[in-house]
Chain A
Amino acid sequence: MPPSDSVSAYPATGQSQALRCAHCGADCPPEPVWVDEQPFCCNGCSSVYALLKENKLCNYYSLNSRPGQRAEADGQFDWLDQPEIAQQVLDFASDELAVVRFDLPQIHCSSCIWLLEQLGRLDPGILHSEVLFLEKKVIIRYNPKAITLGQVVALLHRIGYGPKLNLDSLNSSRKKVRFDGDMIAKLGVAGFCAGNIMLLSFADYLDPGRVDPDFLKLFGWLSALLAMPVVFYSGIDILTSAWKSVAIRRLNIDVPLALGIVSMLVLSLWELFTNTGTGYWDSLTALIFILLIARWLQQRNYAFLSFERDYRAYFPLSTQRVDADGRIATVPVSQLAIGDLIRVRNDEIIPTDGVLESDSASIDYSFLTGESQAVAVSRGQLIYAGGRNAGTALELLVHQTVDQSHLTQLWNHPAFSKPVENKFTGVLDRINRYFTPVALVLAVGSGLFWLVFDPGRALHAFMGVLIVACPCVLVLANPFTLGHIVRILGRWAFYLKGNQAVEQLAEADTIVFDKTGTLTQTQREAVKGHPYGVEWSAAEKSLLRTASSQSSHPLARAIDQYLAGSGLLSIDRFSELPGKGVEVQIGEHRVRLGSAALIAVPAELEAHEGQTHIEIDGVYRGYFESSQTLRPGVGQLLDVLSARYDLWLVSGDPHGRPEQWQRWFKAGQILMGQTPEQKLELVARLQREGRKVLMIGDGLNDAGALRQANAAISISDDASRFAPASDAILQGAAFGRLASFLQLARRHRRLIYTCFVFSGSYNVVGLYFATQGLLAPVIAALLMPLSSITVLSLATGLVWVEARRLGLLPAPKPDEDHILS
């Protein structure tokens, strides 16, 4: 990207009276650090700025609306330095070197990579840092004598890349690093051996029957030698998976495949030892190679997504405990005991159930209930884990340990642990159930037939049928088609959990939408000021902020945040009229903020819900509007979907406006004020009516319904977010294209059937000869890979055509930031 002028790239900070640090946005101390006529709050911020500027990376500031973040207090991360915690977080530790790996979902562009790989220049204690872009991770090596883990984390926070530290990261970093080098090695070995075997077989392909028998024999033995690692190293997973499924008396898709592999292996070895031929080594190895490619493609795009993370991923790792002597210590949440007093700051998650010790608090339970407005809680009331503190710092007496909290119990609700297997058995499993027995019966039947009438042909017939009937298409066409579809959708930031999810999406006939956070965007500070008459002056803004800062009402909090740039004044009198608004006397000014019930609104303005009106000294001065905005493209999307699907809308929000949705949802299919249990019950009821339900929601409050539904999509603006029980994660930005995505998924079955018909004709012809024991080894050897390759090209080609028709190709490239970030 082009280097930008460093000064113009800055957000204007003019409206505020106090100086804001140009890097982190915090208020500057009386004597700020001045660099380039920009104020900075501390040397740390100015040095980050200097480093960025020196390298012409000030674009960093225009990329990010909330650039550098300052660690809230010095020593905030000191608890990470406790040996037992550090030991759990670090990958490796010695006296001179420590290695740590952080998830940084913020990584989204090349300047992120650049900045994070320059950490060593910000602090010499950091020896080396390396970004894994696709996994959104950074690996940092540092010298523990020069810098502590807590300082590393604080440094990352300061440059705006605060790592996610939650209970899950304690455990996951203990796990072995999930890089599948093994898969690549297996793929490479299979490709290597298959390629060499093909070279050796080439003479026989070109001029069958006339190659010197001595050479043929040598080539056969060499091929056999090369094929062994393919079967017993590369293909071992297929064999073991088939064996396991037979052991529990089920036929999975690997069984016919393993049967084909084993029969080809046995027949080839038989021919070699009895001197009756050279075997089918090329077919055998090519089959395994192509199969591994299919599996590898399947796994590839999913390195950084996690679908089934549990509540631990959501909990913070540490909290502030207030000790008996009033000192505040940061401790890991796992060390909290009943009776501890903890402090939860604004915007932090309540880590465990507790009784409020502060006078009042407002808690945002939207994650648990979907209710978008914060709940007021007063001293002595119980606050549940999972809520978010929407007010000032509060103190809480721990009532339950983290393991026993409300959120943990909700997670452990039976609906969440419903096994996935019951949900769906693929078309293929159904076909497969008949396919394998039929192929076996045919093979044994023709073998026995020829044993009676012409024993010389019996073995050829038996093996020939098994080889020809080997379900290449069954096994290969489906993962290739699905894999291709999944990959195209993934490029549009619609991440499916696995290939199976395509089928599940295709089957749906009813869609249940969650409202908050799904159709509408949850924006914490979704407040807009609408001045009436002239624009508000700076003095008026200060008055408004002062008035709103006095109230604990969520709307007032939001307005306070909206006006955060304005100064605070001292007040003379304050009164709150519950349900109506506030009245504040500030000097000689009288400010009233509230609903239309309190304030006379000029007739030409249409007063409606979600507005907070303003009156200063008896003059109407406009209103603040807080509303949940529709996601872009939702209107058109619902237009398209309502033509085909039965649509339902459920919302945990009791005050939503149903009339806004009546255009798309039938009367009686808009349900407001639903609890998570009611949502789940609705989905279950629809299913009892015989419908296939696709649930689209976000977050934990929908998790029960997501799990219950036949297919579930969770909407997220952050791919690494918690997505319980869903089959797919759809990023908010791509939501408008959902109809095309579903259409592509629905086409899948037709594509597969086309492939089946095509390869079925192959098989019928092949079987016609094979059952008669007439199938010459050379023909079989040619027919097999030829059939696989044709079917594979057909499958990918058809998907390509369909995707283009739906406008999903050409898809954005993975590094296009607006989709991925």
Chain B
Amino acid sequence: MEIIYLLIACSFVVALVFLGAFFWSIRSGQYKDTYTPAVRILFDSEPEPQSTESSHPTVSK
């Protein structure tokens, strides 16, 4: 049954990775606006004539 110590340790590491990902998602502003991105993704992405920046507003930081 000693294997359970290893399993618990492993599961904690995995869990902590997800916790870290959660903090990252907060810091990157993914909870700042939970409505607009859902609308934005539906706009047709027609070929951009000039600026590439304005077509990817959510990704750019």
Report which A residues bind B (CB closer than 8 A): 55, 110, 113-114, 117-121, 124, 127-135, 179, 181, 184-185, 188-189, 192, 196, 212, 215, 218, 222, 814-815
How distant is B8 from chain A, measured CB to nearest CB, in Å?
Answer: 7
Q: List 5 A-B residue pairs with CB atoms under 8 Å apart, sorted by A's residue number.
A: A117-B54, A120-B54, A121-B51, A128-B53, A130-B36
For the complex, what is the distance from the CA of A135 to the CA of B50, rounded to whole Å? 29
- A285 vs chain B, min Cβ distance (A): 14
Whole-angstrom distance between the Cβ of A181 and the nearest chain B Cβ: 5
Does B1 touch A at the CB level, under 8 Å? yes
Report whether A133 and B39 are in contact in the complex, using a CB–CB cutoff of 8 Å. Answer: yes
User: Do the beta carbons of A127 and B22 come within 8 Å of each other?
Assistant: no
Whether A188 contacts B22 in the complex (CB less than 8 A), given A117-B40, A128-B57, A129-B54, comes out as: yes
Is there an interface contact between B40 and A113, defined as CB atoms closer than 8 Å? yes
Q: Do residues B46 and A55 form an inter-chain contact, with CB atoms below 8 A?
A: yes
State the CA gap A181–B22 with chains docked (Å): 11
Measured in the bound complex, the distance between the Cα atoms of B43 and A196 in whole Å is: 40
| B residues in contact with A117, CB < 8 Å | 40, 54, 57
Most chain A CB atoms below 10 A, which of B4, B46, B57: B57
Q: Pick the contact of A196: B15, B29, B35 (CB < 8 A).
A: B15
Are A110's CB and B53's CB within 8 A?
A: no
Query: What separation, in Å, do the CA atoms of A121 and B54 have in the docked complex?
Result: 8
B residues lining the A interface (CB < 8 Å): 1, 4-5, 8, 12, 15, 18-19, 22-23, 26-27, 29, 31-36, 39-40, 42-43, 46, 49-51, 53-54, 57-58, 60
**Residues of chain B contacted by A133 (CB below 8 angstroms):** 33, 35-36, 39
Instruction: State whether B36 touches A113 (Cβ < 8 A).
Output: yes
**Shortest Cβ gap from A226 to chain B (Å):** 9
The smallest beta-carbon distance between B52 and chain A, in angstroms, is 10
Across-interface contacts of A215 in B (CB, < 8 A): 1, 4
Say whether B8 contacts A222, CB under 8 Å. yes
Contact B54 A118 (CB under 8 A): yes
With CB as the reference atom, state the residue of chain B lying closest to A119: B54
**Other A-B pairs beyond A185-B26, A192-B15, 19, CB < 8 Å:** A110-B39, A113-B39, A117-B40, A118-B54, A120-B51, A120-B54, A124-B50, A131-B36, A132-B32, A134-B35, A179-B29, A179-B31, A184-B31, A188-B22, A188-B26, A189-B19, A192-B19, A222-B8, A814-B35
Also in contact, A128 and B26, with CB within 8 A (given A55-B46, A133-B35): no
- Interface pair A124/B54, CB less than 8 Å apart: no
A181 to B4, CA, bound (A): 36
Write the nearest CB–CB distance from B57 to chain A, whole angstroms: 5
Q: Closest CB of chain B to A330's CB: distance in Å?
A: 30
A158 to B31, CA, bound (A): 32
Closest Cβ–Cβ distance, residue B51 to chain A (whole Å): 5
- Residue of chain A at shortest CB distance from B40: A113
Q: A128 touches which one: B8, B34, B54 (CB < 8 A)?
A: B54
- Assess whether A128 is in contact with B50, with CB atoms less than 8 Å apart: no
Q: Given the complex of chains A and B, what is the CA–CA distance between A192 and B26 in angstroms?
A: 15
Q: How far is the CA of A181 from the CA of B36 in the complex (A)?
A: 17
Q: Which residues of the partner chain B approach A124 to less than 8 Å between Cβ atoms? A: 50-51
Would you give the shortest CB distance from B13 to chain A, in whole angstroms?
12
Least CB distance from B19 to A in Å reads: 5
Rounded to whole angstroms, the CA-CA distance of A185 and B23 in the bound complex is 7
A132 / chain B contacts, CB cutoff of 8 Å: 32-33, 36
| Inter-chain contact B33/A181, CB cutoff 8 Å | no
Give A188's nearest chain B residue, CB to CB: B22
A428 to B19, CA, bound (A): 36
| CA A414 to CA B36, docked complex, whole Å | 42
A519 to chain B, nearest CB (A): 33
Q: Write the chain B residue with the least CB distance to A222.
A: B8
B32 CB, min distance to chain A CBs, angstroms:
5
Residues of the A chain whose Cβ atoms lie less than 8 Å from the Cβ of B26 = 181, 184-185, 188
A134 contacts B54, C-beta separation under 8 Å:
no
Q: Which residue of B lies closest to A183 (CB)?
A: B31
Given A55-B46, A196-B15, A212-B1, verify A130-B57 contact (CB < 8 Å): yes
